[in-house]
């Protein structure tokens, strides 16, 4: 029995990320959305708090708009990116590439669901006390880590291939 990661493992990882993201958002929405304004729960001040932020744009609020079409447009773009990444995943053979693509796909789909459900992405993890000014969610974390691994794979993956002796 082989322990080699396959694209199916990447798809399963995407599903795990998606479930964790949506479950955490559902739980936090139930906890935070009934609080008076500002909707914030101080957990370990000043390092870690739960704060409601509705992101109507892309990363870090770029291209934010209150137009109802904006949510649909951004959901469509993110869905298209997820499909392209899924095609890449099917062809992937590196374990770190498979897991990174799974993380990005799962996170992207989680944020698409938010846009279609609420018209914005529900962010709630606030670590601004650690000098990180943005509020984010599980999907955002998975996307960020997945993209970082993809970049590293692009930089060191080729070095690995070049350092191996030819067959």
Counting DSSP H helices and E strands in the chain, the numbers are 4, 4
94-111 confidence digits (pLDDT tens):
999 999 999 999 999 999
* Residue 114 designated active-site: no
> How far apart are the C-alpha atoms of 128 and 130, rounded to whole Å?
5
- B/e letters for 72-94, b = 16+ CB within 10 Å, e = fewer, are eebbeebeeebeebbebbeebee
pLDDT at 58 over 70: no
| 165 part of a folded domain | no
Q: Where in the sequence is the domain holding 73, given as residue range(s)? A: 7-32+39-160
pTM for the model stands at 0.86
| 83 part of a folded domain | yes
Residue tagged active-site, from 21, 114, 123, 126: 123
* Residue 93 designated active-site: no
- Split into its structural domains, the chain has a count of 1
Share of the chain above pLDDT 70, in %: 85
Residue tagged active-site, from 21, 114, 126, 140: 140
> How far apart are the C-alpha atoms of 38 and 51, rounded to whole Å?
8
């Amino acid at each position: 029995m082989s322990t080699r990661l396959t694209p199916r493992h990447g798809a399963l990882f995407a599903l795990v990320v998606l479930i964790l993201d949506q479950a955490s958002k559902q739980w936090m929405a139930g906890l935070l959305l009934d609080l008076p304004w500002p909707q914030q729960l101080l957990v370990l001040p000043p390092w870690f708090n739960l704060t409601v932020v509705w992101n109507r744009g892309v990363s870090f609020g770029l291209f934010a708009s209150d137009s109802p079409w904006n949510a649909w447009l951004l959901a469509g773009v993110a869905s298209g990116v997820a499909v392209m990444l899924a095609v890449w995943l099917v062809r992937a053979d590196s374990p770190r590439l498979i897991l990174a693509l799974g993380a990005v796909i799962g996170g992207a789909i989680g944020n698409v669901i938010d846009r279609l459900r609420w018209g914005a992405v529900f962010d709630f993890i606030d670590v601004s006390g650690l000098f990180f000014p943005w509020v984010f969610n599980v999907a955002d974390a998975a996307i960020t880590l997945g993209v970082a691994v993809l970049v590293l794979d692009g930089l060191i993956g080729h070095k690995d291939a070049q350092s191996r002796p030819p067959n």
